[in-house]
Amino acid sequence: MKQVLLLLSAFLFTGALMSQTTILDFETAGTSTTYQYFGSSLDGTLNNIIANPDPSGINTSSMVADHVKPAGSEVWAGAFPNPALGTAADMTVNNQICIKVWAPAVGNVGIKLEGSATGPNWVRTADVSQAMTWTEVCIDVNLPSIEAPALPAFGNVYPTVTLFFDFGMSFSSDQIYYWDDLKTKTGATVTDGDITFSVDMNTYTGSFSTVYVSGGFNGWAADSNPLSDMDGDGVWTATVPNVPVGLQEYKFQVDSWADQEQFNGYETCVQVDPTGQFVNRKIVVTDDATLPTVCWNSCYECGDAVNITIELGSGVPVSSEGLFIAGGGNFGIPGDFPLKDDNGDGVYTITVERQKGFQSFYAFTNGACADYSCKENIAGQDCANPNNFNDRHMGPIMQDTTIATCFGVCSINTDCGGSGPGTVNFAVDMNNYTGSFTTAYVSGSFNGWSGDANPLSDSNGDGIWEASLSLQPGNYEYKFELDNWAISENFMDGDPCTITDPTGQFVNRAISVDGDATVCFEWETCNVCNALGAKDLVVDQELFSLSPTVATDFTTLFFNKNIREDKLVRVFSSTGQLIENAKISGNDHEYRLPIGQLATGIYLVYVQAGNRIATEKLVKQ
């Protein structure tokens, strides 16, 4: 049976049996403050302190606070005090944090205690069991936090109390709540619970006599807590009494450790010890509980789990920290889920168990960078979601699945190609620039947007500044700028040679590197340079014609028969990348241009003969 302990304050007055401290009641300046929203469209705005809209029942006070959870909010949307609380949540004496809530529907409220100088952050939720009426909920801070490190808050002082209404939920319409009387109190606390364990052994391939549960609560004893299968259905069950409140680790094992469950540490139900040596199941005990039946060596019921294997070809030099899968709310931060290349074949792998139907956004990082500065850049590729940080997406996954791809590339296998770096010649035509400058530079994601790492030069004085950089295969953003960011190119969202970040704040040029390449643009435009180094050219639109201009496999260039000079034919992508560079004899008046290998999109075809040049647009279907 669970044990209940009544905590009495050391500072009780004579005849008083309970103590309490008011943090906020909105009736005086000292017990009032506003709360700032996060995780929703109201980010950065403050809530309101208003007249009580329903002065009845347990709350007839004059003033209360409102809280709005807008449609489409993050499930973790909430609010924190701004300005700071006048009275901290002192949990050194009182063991309960309480709040009065008026909610539009039955749900929950989450309370997070933060900023203690002596203890960990702590968060738990409590059910709001009544709708459209004032009700009070209290949470025992002796219970462990539902977030790591899963410790209690009792014994510490917290200057910040953050609130979440209907934590874990998102709605299609705005939800409005009211709250009041945030207090600490002294009350009963649970010290242990009776826990019923249940494991399905039907998939176990060996032979055994008895299943046991062993954990910190029984000193990892080999035979203290045997399970039984009275009806012979393969599901073994036992109730362990008086398991202490808090984080507990355990495993199922057979025949006094003859065999035991083995986990790799990336499952959702396990705890890895700091040394990485032991990986066990975990449970946070808060009361009596019956745990769901799980399959041997799985976090889920038999038949309800899938194994997801990631195979990642690098195609880039791997940092000393390694490659990682991260993000999406399911794969932690860079460093939590490492990919390993145990056989040295250049393919990095990880296998994770998740529940059938699992889906998630995710990304790969080259290093354990908490700020995601080492994240792959797949912006503009077909596997990138521009509305979710240009992350990848997997699922729903209904069976064991292998995802094979390349770092920084939306491939469907681990053949990343380009084992060596590609040499990219960046060039910018400054002939139409009217200002003054000393040096042009190219700055981008490949050099940390440095203002002076990669200067360009115009050694022949033709007004085209250029430099060659050795880059690994992948996708990059960049701009041309002058004199260490004294002046930089500016673009509008939607310009064809650019890419816009999800916030709409930055618009940059983009290039996909897969081997050697050349790009040349006129300053601050998507116009490709006329002739990559030539000037004093004359536009002659009768120089050639193109047919068809909308094609799938090939098109043909028909040259003016009166022109006897050799012709230079260049084809550029919409991002300025040189796709085709051919020299045609002056005696040839046609040139068949194969385009079947090109991606669907718009291309520019340039022809130069002597000092004459012409341009035609080609659409590849």
How many whole angstroms separate alpha carbon 618 and alpha carbon 608? 17
CA-based R_g, the chain, Å: 33
Question: Does some domain include residue 414?
Answer: no
How many whole angstroms separate alpha carbon 503 and alpha carbon 598? 31
How many whole angstroms separate alpha carbon 278 and alpha carbon 265? 9
Nearest to 139 by CA among 101, 99, 199: 99
196 and 217 both lie in a single domain = yes
What pLDDT score was predicted for residue 442?
Answer: 96
Q: How many CB atoms lie within 10 A of CB 226?
A: 13
Q: Model-level pTM?
A: 0.54
pLDDT greater at residue 114 or residue 513: 114
Residue 353 pLDDT > 90? yes
Nearest to 56 by CA among 105, 104, 100: 100
Question: Does some domain include residue 530?
Answer: no
Residue ending a domain, choose from 346, 371, 406: 406
182 and 198 both lie in a single domain = no
341 and 275 both lie in a single domain = no
Q: How many CB atoms lie within 10 A of CB 522?
A: 18
Residue ending a domain, choose from 490, 522, 554: 522
What pLDDT score was predicted for residue 478?
Answer: 93
349 and 387 both lie in a single domain = yes
Tokens (6 digits) for 251: 């495993």
Residue 287's pLDDT band (boundaries 50, 70, 90)? confident
What pLDDT score was predicted for residue 4?
Answer: 57
Question: Does some domain include residue 337?
Answer: yes
What pLDDT score was predicted for residue 610?
Answer: 74
Question: Does some domain include residue 69?
Answer: yes
What pLDDT score was predicted for residue 5?
Answer: 56
What value, to the nearest 5°, has the Cα angle with vertex 73 and ends 72 and 75?
115
555, 620 contact by CB (below 8 A): no
CATH number at 87 reads 2.60.120.260
Chain-centroid distance, C-alpha 149:
21
What pLDDT score was predicted for residue 483?
Answer: 95
Burial of 248 from C-beta contacts in 10 A (0-12 / 13-18 / 19+): buried
397-406: burial string, b at 16+ Cβ within 10 Å, e else: beeeeebbbb
479 and 338 both lie in a single domain = no
What value, to the nearest 5°, has the Cα angle with vertex 504 and ends 499 and 506?
60
Residue 230's pLDDT band (boundaries 50, 70, 90)? very high
113, 161 contact by CB (below 8 A): yes
CATH number at 317 reads 2.60.40.10
How many whole angstroms separate alpha carbon 425 and alpha carbon 492? 25
Q: What are the tens digits of pLDDT across the range 81-136?
A: 999 999 999 999 899 999 999 999 999 999 999 999 999 999 999 999 999 999 99
Strand, helix or coil at 218?
helix
Average pLDDT (223-234) is 97
13 and 119 both lie in a single domain = yes
How many whole angstroms separate alpha carbon 246 and alpha carbon 189? 12
23 and 170 both lie in a single domain = yes
Task: List strand residue ranges (DSSP E) for 448-492, in order.
Answer: 464-471, 474-482, 487-488
95 and 215 both lie in a single domain = no
Average pLDDT (395-414) is 90
For the chain, give the percent of residues with pLDDT over 90: 56
Query: Where do runs of H (alpha helix) occur along 232-295?
Result: none
Q: What are the tens digits of pLDDT across the range 172-210?
A: 899 999 999 999 999 877 778 999 999 999 999 999 999
Mean pLDDT of the chain: 88
Q: What are the tens digits of pLDDT across the range 522-568?
A: 999 888 776 444 445 567 778 888 888 888 878 888 988 888 888 88
512 and 548 both lie in a single domain = no
**Strand 338-339 with 294-295, pairing:** unpaired
Nearest to 196 by CA among 145, 150, 243, 253: 243
Query: Which residues neighbour 592 within 8 Å (Cβ) at sequence distance 6 or greater?
Result: 554, 555, 556, 557
In Å, what is the CA distance from 571 to each residue of 497, 550, 599, 606? 15, 15, 13, 6
**Strand 305-313 with 211-215, pairing:** unpaired
73 and 125 both lie in a single domain = yes
What value, to the nearest 5°, has the Cα angle with vertex 268 and ends 267 and 270?
70
What pLDDT score was predicted for residue 245?
Answer: 82
Question: Does some domain include residue 110?
Answer: yes
Residue ending a domain, choose from 172, 189, 206: 189
Residue 607's pLDDT band (boundaries 50, 70, 90)? confident
User: Which phi and psi (to 5°) does residue 31 adopt?
Assistant: -115, 35
154 and 221 both lie in a single domain = no
Amino acid at 130: Q
Q: Name the DSSP class of 463.
A: S
In Å, what is the CA distance from 88 to each residue of 114, 181, 275, 484? 10, 14, 36, 49
- Provide the residue count of the chain: 621
Q: Which domain holds residue 260?
A: 192-295
Nearest to 388 by CA among 362, 406, 413: 362
Question: Does some domain include residue 323?
Answer: yes
Q: What are the tens digits of pLDDT across the range 142-176?
A: 888 888 778 899 999 999 999 999 998 989 899 99
CATH number at 588 reads 2.60.40.3080
Per DSSP, the residues of 226-246 read: B-B-TT-SSEEEEEEEEEESE
Nearest to 6 by CA among 187, 143, 142: 187
* Number of separate domains in the chain: 5
Residue 345 pLDDT > 90? no
108, 127 contact by CB (below 8 A): yes
Question: Does some domain include residue 390?
Answer: yes
Nearest to 491 by CA among 512, 508, 476: 508
Question: Does some domain include residue 501?
Answer: yes
82, 160 contact by CB (below 8 A): no
In Å, what is the CA distance from 91 to each residue of 8, 17, 31, 71, 136? 13, 17, 18, 35, 19
Nearest to 189 by CA among 95, 106, 104: 95
171 and 144 both lie in a single domain = yes
User: Which phi and psi (to 5°) does residue 386 adopt?
Assistant: -65, -15
